[in-house]
Amino acid sequence: MEKSFGPLLFIPGDNNGNYPCCHSLYLECDKKVLIDPASNRDRLLTILNTSGVDAVWLSHWHEDHFTHLDLFDSKELWISELDAEPLRSIDHFFDAYGMNSDERPPWTKTMYDMFHFKPRAADRLIKPTDFIDLGGMTIEVIHTPGHTPGHTSLYFRELEILFLGDYDLTSFGPWYGDTGSDIDATLESVKRLRQIDARLWITSHGVGIRDSVKPEAWDNYISVIDLRDEKLLDFLKQPRSMQEIVEKRIVYKKKREPKEFYDFGERAIMNKHIERLIKRGFIAFDGSVYQGI
């Protein structure tokens, strides 16, 4: 259900705000701003045609945050300078995900049909240390890389509300499967966010609005990373190919449809764990199979 906090409106996403949707935020200040337009198309269109929208901000470049951006072609687009490139073309988008040529065809139709992808150049590149004054509302930009290189969390200072974006504290845990994603950066971003005092916390997915975040919520969220490490190392007591690792379903727990989507996600995240564990000397790769050392 929608909820207002002064000039800030929380707009719940379809599918309970879970992929392929997210929750949106709308700020009605001197400048009217919509953040992450992927909640509900009809509701966002109503806001556009009644209250109005001057600018759209994206917390990061992922498709489940820009689904209805096509409704706002004539409005300013703001995004982190580190996350702007994937929106410039469909090839740049797939490059940022690290998709190979075989994986792109089924995704191309989905990107156009489901997510209404259109190439966009940002009108303003948000800097990691920006303070944005909208007239009566000061927003502190908090650079929280790891999920994407330019993932942006926001602190609404007068309201004491912290928008966590995709550090959503869900039981799934963090996502860090893109070319520019990084597990250690994810851990550092979570550490930074949990140190910020706030009155309310808002996430892009899941519950959405939290009036408290206990230490164990943060701990449980990042513990998923260690659990994935442990399961992978246990599986690699014997030599395994990447396809075998994907079929183990350490990330998604079971086979899901569409298979192309979940196979890619499984492989992308497992690759990050493999890279990290190879650097730490826990896994060896002989050119065809992986094995724990």
- Give the whole-angstrom CA distance, residue 182 versus residue 236: 22
pLDDT of 14 higher than 90: yes
Rounded to the nearest 10 degrees, how much is the dihedral formed by the CA atoms of 182, 113, 90, 42?
A: -70
Confidence (pLDDT) at 127: 92
DSSP string for residues in 45-72: HHHHHTT--SEEE-SSS-GGGTTTGGGG
The CATH classification number of 3-213 equals 3.60.15.10
| 276-286 per-position pLDDT tens digit | 999 999 999 99
So where are the chain's domains?
Answer: 3-213, 228-292
Confidence (pLDDT) at 136: 83
Confidence (pLDDT) at 106: 86
pLDDT of 217 higher than 90: yes
- Give the whole-angstrom CA distance, residue 128 versus residue 142: 6
Q: Tell how far CA 266 is from the center of its chain.
A: 16
| 136-193 per-position pLDDT tens digit | 899 999 999 999 999 999 999 999 999 999 999 999 999 999 999 999 999 999 999 9
